[in-house]
């Protein structure tokens, strides 16, 4: 029963101030799992007209929020209960921070006075202290009048500079705190220019162009930061004005079409080994690029030009001859201006050699993509799906697994920016369903999720969530009966299955049917193509169980070299 004051509309409370603060900053979508103390907060958010998606596990809600941030340049919001719910969201918060995706984890929490005396509260945990090392910033709000500034700080911390994950701790008592409605409204903050452009210094641009001007074998490497920046036209202009071959990292594929004449995606080893000047744009010289050292980079001396918004990224792995610190849009614009109208093309010997290697690798792979083997191998299955993406470039491709990831990355060409969403810097399994849900919700585009059967298992319960919201998502499970392969055997001959294999002949498609979605079994590329086209055409939640030869994969896909070897145990 509302009090007189509430009826008179003179009071507000923590619940409603949080809603007002988020909506004032154009944040309208919440990815969460209900429970004490945030169940009503989710209900009030929905009642206020926000889109509130309820998941089956907070980790998947967190992965959804993380990729929502990447796609929209606004912080994706994951909301959880305290302690176990907070911990479930924490993996996604750390993943967002590692990948430079803007995300806020809002978690209910216990009261300070009980936590600090360790008196054993319901779901007691010092969440703020635990979150701090794993995210870009972490704050707690204790008073209703601070909600406006707290939400504003979290938004700015998430999207300014190098984007990342922010933790915001909401003790249960905060939600029920009341205050005068006018004072509440006055306490809210609309964040002005949350991600300010950061212009590069003119001398940094000159230094970079002086090096680039005399390069014999220049290379541009585009990373997911370049995709996130949404400076697509400027990046395309830089590539085409300079005539320099470019190598897109996995989530930067599609910034320019992978079929672009300057794409060196299919000549990766050659360009890394032979380039004499390397322009890094929104990419890090981390493990994905062998830290810029060793065999992959050859013996030839190299100079690095590095464009990044984070100054501390410079010299992380290799000496950077020309650090260009700023936001990618501003840096690329400044480079283009400095290049002027008569920029000399790189030597034809270099661009010709790269093009020739691309054509050789593409021609060598082509026949393998045309087989109609039953059961399928990766090339036959992906040959079918490659054609579908070419015909439907608007489809968002979500991808995880080991072989399923690596073969999809090199076989399926992408044609538009931010259409390939995968495991990112950490190689995390389990991002698939949360990523697919947020991609569908944030873009209203159809989504094709190509999942290893192990990878799918990490978040598979969310197919109920997909059905519940009737999202246009087609999940293709590459069912090779295990992790990497389905052929391992228990060396003891005992009853237990080998450590990397699953139930033989599993029918993941039946899971989707259990929730009212469409389930299809496909054992050949032709059947797979027909099933996926039908699913994308219908826009209905669909799961295709794609039977892959269990011997088709290799250990850890293309990164098997990272596995430590035992000199004692015989494999």
Please report, as ranges, the residues that interact with ligand ADP according to CB under 6 A. Answer: 99-100, 162-163, 223-225, 228-229, 249, 251-252, 282-284, 286, 288, 308-310, 313, 327-328, 425
Give yes or no for residue 546 binding ligand OXT (CB under 6 A): no
Q: Which of 401, 446, 472, 517 binds ligand OXT (CB under 6 A)?
A: 401
Residues 170-189 as b/e (b if ≥16 CB within 10 A, e otherwise) read bbbbbbebbbebeebeebbb
Nearer to Mg ion, 88 or 404 (CB): 404
Site string for ligand OXT, 349-368 (x = CB under 6 A): ------------xx--x---
Nearer to ligand ADP, 137 or 309 (CB): 309
Q: Are β-strands 103-109 and 165-171 bridged in parallel, bridged antiparallel, or unpaired? A: parallel
Nearer to ligand OXT, 6 or 488 (CB): 488
Nearer to ligand ADP, 274 or 313 (CB): 313
Nearer to ligand OXT, 333 or 422 (CB): 422
Whole-number Å distance between alpha carbons of 452 and 53: 25
Give yes or no for residue 260 binding ligand OXT (CB under 6 A): no
Structure tokens at 496: 């237990």
Whole-number Å distance between alpha carbons of 479 and 519: 14
Closest residue by beta carbon to ligand OXT:
452
Q: Which of 269, 370, 470, 490 binds ligand OXT (CB under 6 A)?
A: 269
The CB-of-256 to ligand OXT minimum distance in angstroms stands at 14
Residues 295-309 as b/e (b if ≥16 CB within 10 A, e otherwise) read eebeeeebbbbbbbb
For residue 297, the number of C-alpha atoms closer than 13 Å in the C-beta half-sphere is 19
C-alpha distances in Å from residue 409, one per residue of 51, 258, 391, 404, 422: 32, 11, 17, 9, 9
The CB-of-288 to ligand OXT minimum distance in angstroms stands at 4
The CB-of-140 to ligand ADP minimum distance in angstroms stands at 27
DSSP 430: T
Q: Which of 400, 453, 462, 464 binds Mg ion (CB under 5 A)?
A: 453
Whole-number Å distance between alpha carbons of 413 and 258: 5
Give yes or no for residue 403 binding ligand OXT (CB under 6 A): yes
Closest CA to 422 of 99, 65, 102: 99
Give yes or no for residue 462 binding Mg ion (CB under 5 A): no
Q: Which stretch binds Mg ion (CB under 5 A): 14-22, 201-209, 305-313, 472-480?
A: 472-480
Closest CA to 422 of 402, 406, 399: 399
C-alpha distances in Å from residue 183, one per residue of 12, 170, 434: 9, 20, 38
Contacts for 110 with CB less than 8 Å, ≥ 6 apart: 82, 83, 121, 122, 123, 124, 125, 171, 172
Closest CA to 423 of 67, 32, 37: 67
Question: At 185, which helix (H) or strand (E)?
Answer: helix 181-187
In the beta sheet, which residues pair with residue 545? 477, 521
Give yes or no for residue 369 binding ligand OXT (CB under 6 A): no
The CB-of-428 to ligand ADP minimum distance in angstroms stands at 13
Nearer to ligand ADP, 311 or 367 (CB): 311
Site string for Mg ion, 36-55 (x = CB under 5 A): --------------------
Contact 355, 340 (CB under 8 A): no
Peptide bond into 375 cis (omega under 30): yes
Give yes or no for residue 550 binding Mg ion (CB under 5 A): no
Q: Which stretch binds ligand OXT (CB under 6 A): 44-52, 124-132, 267-275, 325-333?
A: 267-275
Whole-number Å distance between alpha carbons of 3 and 178: 12
Q: Which of 368, 468, 507, 558 binds ligand OXT (CB under 6 A)?
A: 558
Contact 380, 369 (CB under 8 A): yes
The CB-of-454 to Mg ion minimum distance in angstroms stands at 5
Closest CA to 14 of 167, 151, 166: 151
Nearer to Mg ion, 140 or 558 (CB): 558
Give yes or no for residue 250 binding ligand OXT (CB under 6 A): yes
**Total residue count of the chain as it appears in this document:** 571
The CB-of-228 to ligand ADP minimum distance in angstroms stands at 5
Give yes or no for residue 501 binding ligand OXT (CB under 6 A): no
Binding partner of residue 309 among ligand ADP, ligand OXT, Mg ion, none, CB cut-off 5 to 8 Å per kind: ligand ADP
Nearer to Mg ion, 169 or 549 (CB): 549
Residues 168-227, interacting with ligand OXT (CB under 6 A) = none
The CB-of-227 to ligand ADP minimum distance in angstroms stands at 8
The CB-of-480 to ligand OXT minimum distance in angstroms stands at 5
The CB-of-72 to ligand ADP minimum distance in angstroms stands at 13
Place of tokens 């930067």: 252
Nearer to ligand OXT, 81 or 221 (CB): 221
Nearer to ligand OXT, 438 or 450 (CB): 450
State whether residue 421 is helix, strand or coil.
strand
Contact 70, 44 (CB under 8 A): no
The CB-of-415 to ligand ADP minimum distance in angstroms stands at 18
């Amino acid at each position: 029963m509302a009090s007189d004051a509430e009826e008179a509309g003179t009071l507000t409370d923590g619940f409603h101030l949080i809603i007002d603060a988020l909506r004032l900053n154009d944040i309208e979508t919440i990815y969460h799992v209900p429970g004490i103390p945030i169940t009503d907060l989710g209900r009030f958010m929905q009642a206020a007209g926000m889109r509130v998606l309820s998941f089956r596990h907070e980790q998947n809600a967190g992965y959804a929020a993380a990729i929502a941030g990447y796609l929209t340049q606004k912080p994706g919001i994951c909301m959880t209960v305290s302690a176990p719910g907070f911990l479930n969201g924490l993996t996604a918060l750390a993943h967002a921070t590692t990948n430079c995706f803007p995300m806020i984890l809002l978690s209910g929490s216990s009261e300070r006075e009980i936590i600090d005396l360790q008196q054993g509260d319901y779901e007691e945990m010092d969440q703020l202290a635990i979150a701090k090392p794993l995210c870009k910033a972490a704050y707690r709000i204790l008073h209703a009048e601070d909600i406006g500034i707290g939400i504003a700080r979290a938004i700015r911390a998430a999207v300014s500079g190098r984007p990342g994950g922010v933790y915001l701790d909401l003790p249960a008592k905060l939600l029920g705190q009341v205050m005068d409605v006018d004072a509440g409204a006055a306490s809210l903050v609309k964040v002005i220019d949350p991600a300010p452009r950061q212009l590069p210094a003119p001398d940094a641009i000159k230094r970079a162009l002086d090096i680039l001007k005399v390069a014999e074998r220049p290379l541009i490497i585009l990373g997911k930061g370049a995709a996130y920046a949404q400076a697509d036209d400027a990046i395309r202009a830089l590539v085409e004005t300079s005539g320099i071959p470019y190598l897109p990292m996995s989530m930067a594929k599609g910034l320019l079409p992978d079929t672009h004449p300057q794409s060196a995606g299919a000549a990766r080893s050659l360009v890394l080994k032979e380039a004499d000047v390397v322009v890094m744009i929104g990419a890090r010289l981390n493990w994905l690029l062998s830290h810029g050292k060793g065999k992959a980079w050859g013996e030839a001396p190299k100079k690095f030009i590095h464009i990044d918004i984070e100054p501390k990224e410079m010299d992380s792995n290799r000496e950077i001859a020309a650090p260009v610190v700023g936001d990618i849009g501003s840096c690329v614009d400044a480079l283009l201006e400095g290049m002027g109208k008569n920029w000399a093309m790189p030597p034809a010997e270099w661009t010709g050699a790269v093009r020739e290697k691309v054509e050789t690798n593409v021609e060598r792979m082509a026949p393998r993509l045309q087989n109609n083997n039953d059961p399928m191998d990766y090339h036959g299955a992906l040959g079918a799906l490659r054609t579908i993406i070419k015909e439907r470039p608007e489809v968002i491709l979500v991808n995880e697994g080991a072989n399923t990831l690596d073969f999809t990355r090199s076989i399926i060409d992408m044609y538009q920016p931010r259409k390939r969403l995968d495991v990112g810097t950490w190689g995390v399994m389990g991002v698939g369903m949360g990523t697919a849900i947020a991609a569908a919700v944030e873009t209203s585009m159809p989504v094709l999720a190509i999942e290893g059967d192990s990878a799918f298992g990490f978040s598979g319960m969310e197919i109920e969530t997909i059905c519940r919201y009737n999202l246009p998502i087609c999940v293709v499970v590459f069912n090779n009966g295990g992790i990497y392969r389905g052929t391992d055997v228990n060396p003891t001959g005992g009853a237990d299955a080998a450590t990397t294999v699953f139930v033989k002949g599993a029918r993941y498609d039946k899971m989707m049917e259990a929730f009212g979605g469409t389930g299809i079994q496909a054992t050949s590329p032709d059947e797979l193509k027909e099933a996926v086209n039908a699913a994308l055409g219908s826009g209905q939640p669909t799961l295709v169980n794609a039977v892959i030869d269990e011997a088709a994969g290799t250990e850890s896909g293309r990164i098997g070299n990272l596995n430590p070897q035992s000199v004692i145990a015989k494999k």
